[in-house]
Amino acid sequence: MIGAAALLLLILLYYFSSDGKPHYSWKEHYISNSKDPYGTYLVRNLLEDYFPSDSFRVVTDSLGTTLDSGNFVYIGNHFWLDSMATIELLDFVAAGNSAFIATQHLPHGLMDSISGFECGEVYYDEESTFVQNRSSQADTVAKLNFEHPSLYDSAGYELKFLFLREPVEYHWTYFPSDYLCDSQTVFTPLGLLNDEQPYFVRANYGAGEFYLHTTPLAFTNLHLLENRGLEYASKVFSHLKPGTVYWDERMFDPFGNGNNLAQKEWETPLRYVLSQPSLAWAWYIMLGMALLYLVFRAKRRQRVIPVLEKNRNTSLEFIGTIGRLFFINNNHRQLADKKMRLFLIFVRERYHLPTKDLNQQFIRSLSIRSNIPEEHLSKILLLSSNISTTGYVQEETLVEFHRKLEKFYRECK
């Protein structure tokens, strides 16, 4: 009886309040199948046909099992990578491929590996996962433009941030001087924000290139509906080489480490109901009436509390499986190389030490911070150097190298 009355109330409110116009969410969510102003439905469809003779693949699993050759593309507010995914993406680009990443927040582990600390050591908060874009300009409008004469536009490409169709102040980010000092040779500016600050850069890595863009807003539906916005996006993607396009659909939640939480939230069937105030109020009233019914009519019972299994760290099992695979195939050198790369990433993220030059100064600094003797660290680096320059690695050498690393992880502070 109560449920029927609430349903009737919902229908009446919709009938008398609906203005017949479509209602959109103005949340900056970058969901690829959303036609909201800040979804990425249009740019995804643009890239599906950008290279007609090549395929378009959606990345929904780990990078190592998906990427082959071509162009990796990610557009979103945060770009989250763990240490294994960082290595997989770096290997993909180093093999001669391209990665285009448009986000305001880049993982500092990836940026450290690309930059090689050419501008000096970069310090982060211990709780920080992303490069903190301290460099930004607050305004309701920004002008983007290219550096190359063939792409440069005399008027520039104006970008606005709108909320409910009204201009709102927005923080337009660009690359900080931590990575773009005068002496660096890694990053090449491709675009300037307001003719002053670099927001679009290219970084050569191995035989491939990273294209990093700090303004993903330029690739949302709202701006691609205009001819100028579409022209801008086409010029940006003209930097990619013909080949398969890998569209990263995972959209990780950077703080919960969960897959695609934003998409789960916005693909709910209640999305349209909750986007309209009248229908939303009717929904809440119905829930309130149902709650009152449960409070006053339902029997008060204590549900059986199930025993939940402890959370398992499957990432360690995955690494162990990959290690055993290399070991069984007698690929001792490649396994040792993977272990060394993970060790260097661990050092950069935990102790904030540059790993470009593995010299005596590096050993001394790491020994002080980790409380591990210099002799032990020197032995690790010596074994790694010998393994990388030897054609055949004996099983005993690999085991000794593994034990040295395990002792470091077990005893470091």
Q: What is the pLDDT of residues 168-215, one digit of tens each?
A: 999 898 988 778 887 888 899 999 999 989 999 999 999 999 999 999
pLDDT score, position 2: 47
Contact 112, 129 (CB under 8 A): no
Mean pLDDT of the chain: 80
Q: Which residue has the higher pLDDT, 107 or 12?
A: 107
Query: Looking at residues 132-142, what average pLDDT do you find?
Result: 73
What phi, psi does 31 have (nearest 5°)? -80, 130
Ranges of each domain in the chain: 2-23+276-296, 41-263, 314-411
Contact 81, 131 (CB under 8 A): no
- Say what percent of the chain tops pLDDT 70: 77
Q: Which residue has the higher pLDDT, 163 or 334?
A: 163
Contact 134, 374 (CB under 8 A): no
pLDDT score, position 88: 92
What phi, psi does 128 have (nearest 5°)? -85, 135
Query: Looking at residues 363-384, what average pLDDT do you find?
Result: 87
Helix 83-94 and helix 314-328: axis angle, to 10°? 50
pLDDT score, position 80: 84
pLDDT confidence bin for 272, thresholds 50/70/90: low
pLDDT greater than 50 at residue 257 = no
Q: What is the pLDDT of residues 28-76, one digit of tens each?
A: 889 988 889 999 999 999 999 888 878 999 988 888 888 989 999 999 9
Write down the number of H helices and E strands in the chain. 15, 13
- Say what percent of the chain tops pLDDT 90: 30
Query: Looking at residues 312-330, what average pLDDT do you find?
Result: 55
44/247 Cα distance (integer angstroms): 8
Q: What share of the chain is helix, strand, coil (3-state, %, to 5)?
A: 45, 15, 40
Residues counted in the chain: 413
Q: In what helix (H) or strand (E) does residue 343 lie, and over which residues does it extend?
A: helix 332-351
Contact 189, 180 (CB under 8 A): yes
Distances (CA, A) of 30 to 22, 79, 231, 254: 19, 12, 20, 14
DSSP code string of 262-283: HHHHHTSTTHHHHHSHHHHHHH
pLDDT confidence bin for 265, thresholds 50/70/90: very low
Structure tokens at 134: 């301290």
pLDDT score, position 122: 64
pLDDT greater than 50 at residue 16 = no
**pTM score of the predicted model:** 0.59
Contact 363, 381 (CB under 8 A): yes
Query: Looking at residues 267-294, what average pLDDT do you find?
Result: 75
With tokens 């911070």, the residue in question is 369
